[in-house]
Amino acid sequence: MMPQALEHADGRWAWMVLLASLMTQALTLAFPACIGVFFTDLQHDFQASNSETSWFPSILGAMLHAGGLGMCFSFQSSITVLGLYFVHRRPMANALASIGLSLGVTLWPLLARYLLEDLGWRGSFLVFGGVLLHCCICGAIMRPVATSATPETRESPPLPSKTPVRSCLATCDSTIRHHLACDILQHNMGYRVYTVGGTLMILGFTLPHTFLVPYAMWHGVDEYRAALLVSIIGFCNIFLRPIAGLLIGRQRLAGYRKYLFSLAVLLNGLTNLVCTVSADYQVLVGYCLVYSVSMCGVGVLIFQVLMDIVPMDRFPSALGLFTVLCGIASLISPPLAGFLVDSTNNFSYVFFMSSFFLISSGLFMGGSFYALQKKERQGRQAKAEGVSSETASVPSLILEGKDSSKKQLHVERMYVTSV
């Protein structure tokens, strides 16, 4: 069998992979944005409450992030391979690939509204299934990429253990812990902050995409104009994300990406409070314009910050654990919001809930990242002072004896307090 040809990072084929990643995110990651269009029809057909109907988008979002199924495989692999193909232009590549999400958010609701009238929600889902099959073409473009890592030497097989059951269980346990990034979660405090803050963020970030259309229709906005609100958010992001990618790709801002991400999450939460003030259509359009700016910052930085925190060779495992937690958050959040609507008969509580989680996440990540950076700076200073004190004590080892013409080595006990 002939060896398979490998592509090189930052080469010409990297741009084809970028295009494939863009299309994959448009097909998979943006698909839940159109579910709000079907929310009312599903509720009427099944005679379900808001809380019961909310399980449909929540299960879809959970399986997209944490399942072992089609859209999850396509979405996660497209992000991972992009980080391997781009090294020098990685922030810009992530920003350009995230335009796929914007394109999908723009087009999916309009297509869903058009198909819903002619085919109903059942026929629309059949068409969506055919459209999503294009992920197979995108996957064929993502060829293996050559890495600089040297292949590991094969060692002789270990001798059979006297307790094979325990050995098998230990091997399975270590394998699961490795692929779920448990070692990174244990030793990397920055990754721990990122996962906790990101999970809090997802609890509130997905709610406007699900409930904005029903919220507008509940206040008397017609179906087409309500679906157009989500498309406005996506259309604005098409132009904002390349600009954001150029900014965060600058070397001067490399050390501040974590704080910019926290700020974007905080602003996203504050923006949702606009919907609690008024449901006038002009106010909702203004909300979508402002919301798109903060959503752009979150979308551009969410995976780039993770690449900055963990080594690239462990990025797939770190992304896997993060998306599992995001899937759990996506499963809980919409039904909880639907329960609030059923209990209070007021959609405004959905946006209050979204703002609470997003603001909490932004403040938590920003404060924690600052505390970690301050602690790291103090550790470097203490280490530098320890090295300088050790260097100053070295000359005392050689002392002059009573006879000034001879020098002798004086044995002195020293305690090294820092390494």
Residue 185 has pLDDT above 50, yes or no: yes
The Cα 206–Cα 351 span in angstroms is 11
The Cα 104–Cα 110 span in angstroms is 10
Q: What are residue 145's DSSP bridge partners?
A: 7
Residue 50's pLDDT band (boundaries 50, 70, 90)?
confident
pLDDT confidence of residue 415: 37
The model's pLDDT over 282-302, given as tens digits with 9 standing for 90+, comes to: 999 999 999 999 999 998 899
Average pLDDT over residues 127-155: 77
Residue 153's pLDDT band (boundaries 50, 70, 90)?
very low
| 356 vs 206 pLDDT, higher one | 356
Percent of the chain with pLDDT over 90: 27
pLDDT confidence of residue 150: 46
pLDDT confidence of residue 147: 64
Q: At 49, list the tokens.
A: 């409450």
Name, of 150-154, 167-171, 282-286, the range with top average pLDDT: 282-286
pLDDT confidence of residue 5: 55
How many other CB atoms sit within 10 Å of the CB of residue 42?
15
pLDDT confidence of residue 205: 92
pLDDT confidence of residue 370: 94
Tell me the pLDDT of the chain averaged across its residues.
Answer: 82
Residue 178's pLDDT band (boundaries 50, 70, 90)?
low
Residue 179's pLDDT band (boundaries 50, 70, 90)?
low
The Cα 326–Cα 395 span in angstroms is 58
- Spatial neighbors of 227 by CB under 8 A, at least 6 apart, are 37, 109, 110, 112, 113, 213
The model's pLDDT over 257-269, given as tens digits with 9 standing for 90+, comes to: 999 999 999 999 9
pLDDT confidence of residue 125: 92
| 395 vs 410 pLDDT, higher one | 395
The Cα 294–Cα 264 span in angstroms is 5
Average pLDDT over residues 359-384: 90
pLDDT confidence of residue 418: 37
Average pLDDT over residues 41-45: 88
3-state secondary structure the chain: CCCCCCECCCCCHHHHHHHHHHHHHHHCCCHHHHHHHHHHHHHHHCCCCHHHHCHHHHHHHHHHHHCCCHHHHHHHHHHHHHHHHCCCCHHHHHHHHCHHHHHHHHHHHHHHHHHHHHHHHHHHHHHHHHHHCCHHHHHHHCCCECCCCCCCCCCCCCCCCCCHHHHHHHHHHHHHHHHCCHHHHHHCHHHHHHHHHHHHHHHHHCHHHHHHHHHHHHCCCCHHHHHHHHHHHHHHHHHHHHHHHHHHCCHHHHHHHHHHHHHHHHHHHHHHHHHHCCCCHHHHHHHHHHHHHHHHHHHHHHHHHHHHHCCHHHHHHHHHHHHHHHHHHHHHHHHHHHHHHHHHCCCHHHHHHHHHHHHHHHHHHHHHHHHHHHHHHHHHHHHHHHHHHHHHHHHHHEEECCCCCCEEECCCCCCCCCC
Residue 56's pLDDT band (boundaries 50, 70, 90)?
confident
Please check whether residue 8 is in contact with residue 146, taking contact to mean a CB–CB distance below 8 angstroms.
yes
